[in-house]
Amino acid sequence: MTEIRLYNTRTRRKDVLVPFDEGNVRMYVCGPTVYDRAHIGNARPVVVFDVLFRLLRHVYGPEHVTYVRNFTDVDDKINARAAETRREGESELQAIRRITEETVAWYREDMAALGALPPSHEPRATEFIAPMVTMIEELIGRGHAYEAEGHVLFSVSSDPEYGSFANRSLEDMRAGARVEVAPYKRDPMDFVLWKPSDATQPGWDSPWGRGRPGWHIECSAMAHDLLGESFDIHGGGIDLAFPHHENEIAQSRCAHPDGKFANIWLHNGFLQVEGEKMSKSLGNFFTVRDLLDQGVPGEVIRFVLLSTHYRQPIDWTEAKSEEARRQLRRWGNLVGNASSDELLPDAKILEALTDDLNTPKAIARLHELSALKEHDLLAGSLKILGFDLNPESLWGGAWGVPSAWEGMIGDLLDLRLRARLEKDYERADKIRDALNEAGVIVMDRPGQAADWDIGSKFDSEKFSELGNLL
């Protein structure tokens, strides 16, 4: 069995994935709170964990992997949005329902446009209230939670291991806490498992009155219900590591002391835009839908997101997006030459992915495969990375292709790269000079395939003669 190594936030090292059950490898990823379109940062975990899902399916077989990604459809941010946007004749609860339904549908559409496979299960928190109530009762029963003024709180001091995931002591946490101070809390770090709802808020009957769950218990209960007490991988953005994941771990460990909860914890780094934190006030905040509507193909978004290692911060820039568009267009053209129906990924691509999802390394290998004209391996490798490129679809519409010249430029550059790999520098230079003559600017970049552009002196007649070189 191919060995997959993943950087585990819990152990702070790369661990070999040893599934609890190879017949059912299980992964849970925290999904969106549904009150708004997914922004480009929210797309990062979706794409990263989609690559992991595809890799697991490749290694263990598609029917032996279960991937759960939830929808948080009960949350105070949703209630606030409903209050702001309530339409005439609509109750608060109806507005909430409208917003969550609409946002879930948008999310599915946008993530499909990025080439993300639907997870095996997409549970909505509101459909799992009963397991949440059961879990809270278990926590109370075991002395890890207490009821106070219609709330139920998790008692952090009841759990000697609380803080071990984030590697922080309770003392430090209390000192730096920005938590809500509430008179009913025994400890400022105690967090809400259940809270009371008034008539305008979503609520469910419970042993503690009509109320709704806290955010953390939602994930613990859904993961337990769908994946069991012990499962293999838990993921999300790095912002979720504390307190969300610390709290999920505390709840799950204390409610099910015989279980291991999640073995490997993965966190993606944050995305920023043109060197700045994305924010509405800076005007650099955009959604996946904004980009798609501007004509940026989903594949291009996906490619940019995978061009940086998932644990590093990533900078979204227009330049990267333009380059990704050009690159994918070339590869899309080449995969049309693939001869086999059964496309398998290249061994070096698999090697990169099984080493903590090293997608930049995998992409570097795609460049080599295209230069070597390994079209079947290129197609198979693009496929495991989630790119289903169809040559026809890449020559128009959103791809904004200037002309069929592009394919020829790509071929000539491949030829040149090949000549260089074969140390035939004379021929390599001849190709570059000929391209320059015709007005195609070739830009060499260390460690990457050359970039190119059509200059203002582009000469189509000279250019068409370059076909002789091929």
In the complex, the smallest distance separating the C-beta of residue 30 from Zn ion, rounded to whole angstroms, is: 3
What distance in Å separates the CA atoms of residue 137 and residue 206, rounded to the nearest whole number?
10
Stretch that binds ligand AMP, among 25-33, 200-208, 297-305, 333-341 (CB under 6 A): 25-33
Q: Closer CB to ligand AMP, residue 228 or residue 269?
A: 269
In the complex, the smallest distance separating the C-beta of residue 100 from ligand AMP, rounded to whole angstroms, is: 13
What distance in Å separates the CA atoms of residue 224 and residue 124, rounded to the nearest whole number?
14
Q: Closer CB to ligand AMP, residue 45 or residue 203?
A: 45
In the complex, the smallest distance separating the C-beta of residue 98 from ligand AMP, rounded to whole angstroms, is: 18
Q: Closer CB to ligand AMP, residue 44 or residue 330?
A: 44
In the complex, the smallest distance separating the C-beta of residue 319 from Zn ion, rounded to whole angstroms, is: 34
Q: DSSP 3-state helix, strand, coil percentages of the chain (rounded to 5)? A: 45, 15, 35
Q: Closer CB to ligand AMP, residue 111 or residue 139?
A: 111
CA angle 157, 163, 164 (to 5 degrees): 120
In the complex, the smallest distance separating the C-beta of residue 269 from Zn ion, rounded to whole angstroms, is: 18
Q: Closer CB to ligand AMP, residue 244 or residue 373?
A: 244
Transcribe 286-316 into DSSP letters: -BHHHHHHTT--HHHHHHHHHSS-TTS-EEE
The SS3 of residue 167 is: coil
Q: Which of 27, 29, 30, 55 binds Zn ion (CB under 5 A)?
A: 30
Residue 33 near ligand AMP by CB under 6 A:
yes
Which x/- pattern, by CB under 5 A, does the window 53-92 give for Zn ion? ----------------------------------------
Q: Which of 161, 172, 205, 239 binds ligand AMP (CB under 6 A)?
A: 239
> Please, is 97 exposed, middle or buried when counting C-beta atoms within 10 Å of its C-beta (0-12, 13-18, 19+)?
middle
Q: Which of 125, 240, 349, 408 binds ligand AMP (CB under 6 A)?
A: 240
Q: Closer CB to ligand AMP, residue 146 or residue 310?
A: 310
Residue 219 contact partner, candidates ligand AMP, Zn ion, none, CB within 5 to 8 A by sort of partner: Zn ion
Which residues, other chains included, contact 96 with Cβ-Cβ below 8 Å and sequence gap of 6+?
78, 79, 82, 202
What distance in Å separates the CA atoms of residue 271 and residue 277, rounded to the nearest whole number?
8
- In order of 351, 381, 384, 454, the CA distances from 54 in angstroms are 14, 11, 6, 37
What distance in Å separates the CA atoms of residue 25 and residue 212, rounded to the nearest whole number?
31
Closest to 302 in 3D by CA, of 318, 287, 324, 331: 324
**Residue the block writes with tokens 């190119």:** 452
- By the 8 A CB rule, do 438 and 462 touch? yes
Q: Closer CB to Zn ion, residue 179 or residue 241?
A: 241
Beta pairing partners, 7:
14
Q: Which of residues 254-313 bind ligand AMP (CB under 6 A)?
A: 268, 270-271, 278
Q: Which two tokens stand for residue 346?
A: 């290249």
Which x/- pattern, by CB under 6 A, does the window 39-78 give for ligand AMP? --xx-xx---------------------------------
State which residue has the least CB distance to ligand AMP: 237
φ/ψ region of 230 (left if φ > 0, alpha if ψ in -120 to 50, else beta) reads: beta
In the complex, the smallest distance separating the C-beta of residue 285 from ligand AMP, rounded to whole angstroms, is: 10
Residue 25 contact partner, candidates ligand AMP, Zn ion, none, CB within 5 to 8 A by sort of partner: none
Residue 332 contact partner, candidates ligand AMP, Zn ion, none, CB within 5 to 8 A by sort of partner: none
Q: Is the peptide bond before 345 cis (omega within 30 degrees of 0)?
A: no
Stretch that binds Zn ion, among 17-25, 171-179, 218-226, 250-258 (CB under 5 A): 218-226
Q: Which of 219, 362, 389, 440 binds Zn ion (CB under 5 A)?
A: 219
The SS3 of residue 362 is: helix
What distance in Å separates the CA atoms of residue 238 and residue 30, rounded to the nearest whole number?
11
Q: Which of 17, 27, 32, 331 binds ligand AMP (CB under 6 A)?
A: 32
Q: Which of residues 217-236 bind ligand AMP (CB under 6 A)?
A: 236
Chain residues that interact with ligand AMP, rule: CB under 6 A: 30, 32-33, 41-42, 44-45, 236-237, 239-240, 268, 270-271, 278
Q: Which residues in this chain contact Zn ion in the complex, by CB under 5 A?
A: 30, 219
